[in-house]
Each structure stands twice: as C-alpha cells, then as structure tokens.
Amino acid sequence: MKQDIKEVLIDETQIQNKNSELGKIISEHYRGEKLTVICILKGAIMFMSDLIKNIDVPLEIDFMDVSSYGEGTTSSGVVKIIKDLDASIEDKNILIVEDIIDSGLTLSYLMKILKSRGPKSIEICTLLDKPTGRKIDIDVKYVGFTVPDAFLVGYGLDYSEKYRNLPYIGILKENVYR
C-alpha cells in the first residue's frame, strides 16, 4: 500500500478542511431548500460521506454507478450504467458528487440522462478536477482541488480497485502501473 505511493498530494487535514469549506458554501446555496445528494460509485464514497456531514440543510442520499474505466489507467470512453438511482429526481434539487473529473465523459453522459428526468436543479461537486485530461466541456459548480496530470489514488480513487481506503490523495509510483 504505502510503499506504492510516490508522494502525498493532498493530506487528510487538507481534505477535511476543504470538506468543511465546501459544506458551508453548499449549505448557503441550498438554504431553505431540500437537497438530494447523488454519490457516483465507487470513487465518490469517501468524499460524499465526509462532505454531507458538513452540509446543514435537510438532505437525502442516493447512489448511481456509471463506469467509464476498466482495469486500465486511461478512459476508454465507454460509459455504462451499472446501478441506477433508487428514487425519482423529478422536481428535486440534485447535487452530484464525484471524486474526480478527468476526461469529463462520465459526467457528461450522466448529466444528459439526469437532466432528462426533470430535476428542479442539478449541479456538480467534485473533490478533484484534472483539467488537462478534459475531452468534453463540463459545467462544474463546486471544485475542491485542481490537480496535475498524475495517476492519483486514495480517498476513494482506485487503481485496479485498490488503494481506495487510503485517507489521503497520493500519486501512484509509476512502476506499479507500468
């Protein structure tokens, strides 16, 4: 585990400070409203569970699994729904929570589907934004950190389904995936 990490890019304290900061901004934005927070499995689990502790409006959570990556390190561009939401989002305020936006293909596809279901509002909150990877434009309302073009793992992010349990965002050593 730890021996596979070249460098800690964002440590636990920085992440939790950001969660608190984002939680305050989001609470202000939805003040007096109800909110449904959608976690995009699996990468966003840690971020969503920590983020919602900092959101102070009545909220519900739901989960969706849309996968664009296989076992490799780069996006295949193939996006499929593995698990759909449990509840209808019609006339609801929706906040989509992601761990990272890279090519933007996953969210661009997802936004098209979810907007067609008639939500009252729909916004995106991502912990990490990697603009150098972008293949399609995405309108993101809340961004935690802008990150460089490195292979990141931890705090939900995986390589080949591993490293999600690290409490920080780390850069994976090249010899692990090459």
Binding site for ligand PRP (CB under 6 A): 40-43, 67-69, 75, 98-106, 158
43 sits near Mn ion (criterion: CB under 5 A): yes
Q: Does the bond joining 42 to the residue before it have cis omega, within 30 degrees of 0? A: yes
Tokens representing 6 are 């070249």
Q: Residue 67 binds which entry of ligand PRP, Mg ion, Mn ion, none, with Cβ cut-offs from 5 to 8 Å by kind? A: ligand PRP
Q: Strands 169-172 and 5-10: what pairing?
A: antiparallel
158 sits near Mg ion (criterion: CB under 5 A): yes
> What's the chain's length in residues?
178
156 sits near Mn ion (criterion: CB under 5 A): no
Between the alpha carbon of residue 130 and those of residues 44, 124, 148, 151, 152, the distances in Å are: 15, 15, 6, 10, 10
Binders of Mn ion among 70-129, rule CB under 5 A? Answer: none
Closer of 30 and 47 to Mn ion (Cβ): 47
Measured from the CB of residue 108, what is the shortest distance to ligand PRP in angstroms? 8
Give the residue closest to ligand PRP by C-beta: 43
Whether 56 is catalytic: no
Tokens representing 50 are 């920590």
- How far is Cα 133 from Cα 77, in angstroms, rounded to an integer? 12
- 77 within 8 A of 105, measured Cβ to Cβ: yes
Out of 30, 47, 69, 142, the residue judged to bind Mg ion by CB under 5 A: 69
- How far is Cα 160 from Cα 178, in angstroms, rounded to an integer? 13
Closer of 16 and 131 to ligand PRP (Cβ): 131
Stretch that binds Mn ion, among 40-48, 83-91, 114-122, 128-136 (CB under 5 A): 40-48
Q: Which of 99, 102, 129, 158 is catalytic?
A: 102
Tokens representing 96 are 């989509």
Which sequence positions are flagged as catalytic? 102
Interface with Mn ion (CB under 5 A): 43
Interface with Mg ion (CB under 5 A): 69, 158
